Amino acid sequence: MKRIAIYIVLLTCFGTTTLAAEGYDYSARWKAWDINIQRSYIIGVKEGIEVGYFTTIGNLSKDASPNDEIKIMNILKYGSSIDTNKIIEVMSDMYNDPANSYINNVKMFVLAQDKIEGKDISKLLEVEREKAYNFIKLNKK
C-alpha cells in the first residue's frame, strides 16, 4: 500500500511539474470527479484543516498570545461550519467561469466558503486568478 501511495505522489509531482508551463486546469479535474469524489475531497480538506488546528494548538506554548489563538480559530472555521454539499455547489458554479480554471481546489474551497458566508470575494478572486496566470507565465520562461 505504501508503494502505491509513493507512486501516486511521484506521479502527481511529475504531472504538476510537466503541466506547469501550460497551467493545470483545476476546473477540468473538479468537473471530471463525480459527486462522491468531490464530497470525499471536501471532507478531506476539512479534516486536514482540523488536524492542523489541533496539532498547532498542541504545540503552542503556554505564553501564546490571545491573538495567536484568534488567528488559529479563524483558520479552523474553514474546517467545519458549512455544509459539504453547499461548498460543492458553489465551487462547481465558480469553476464554470473559465477565468477560474487555474485556481487550485483548496484555494477555491476557501473562496467558496467565504462566498457562502456572504463575504465579497471579488478582489480575492482576482488576486488568485492573477497568481495562477503569473505562475503559468513564470514556468513558460
Q: Which residues does 82 contact at the CB level (< 8 Å), separation at least 6?
A: 113, 116, 117
Tell me if 59 is assigned to some domain: no
In a domain, 123, yes or no: yes
In a domain, 34, yes or no: yes
Question: Which has more confidence, 35 or 23?
Answer: 35
Please answer whether residues 42 and 88 qualify as being in contact, where contact means their C-beta atoms are separated by less than 8 angstroms. Answer: yes
Q: Please check whether residue 75 is in contact with residue 101, taking contact to mean a CB–CB distance below 8 angstroms.
A: no
For residue 36, the model assigns a pLDDT of: 95
| Residue 33 belongs to a domain | yes
The rounded distance, in Å, linking the Cα atoms of 105 and 27 is: 8
In a domain, 111, yes or no: yes
Query: For residue 48, is pLDDT > 60?
Result: yes
d(CA 101, CA 97): 7
Task: Classify residue 87: in a domain, yes or no.
Answer: yes
Into how many domains does the chain fold? 1
pTM across the whole model: 0.69
Q: Shortest CA distance to 53 belongs to which of 69, 38, 66?
A: 69
What confidence score (pLDDT) does residue 109 get? 92
d(CA 93, CA 97): 8
- Asked if residues 78 and 110 have their Cβ atoms less than 8 Å apart, the reply is yes
Q: What is the pLDDT of residue 141?
A: 61
Range of the domain at 35: 2-40+83-140
Residue 95 lies in a domain: yes
Is there a domain that residue 71 lies in?
no
pLDDT digits (tens, 9 = 90+) for 69-123: 676 666 666 556 678 999 999 999 999 999 999 999 999 998 998 899 899 999 9
> What's CA 45's distance to the chain center, in Å?
7
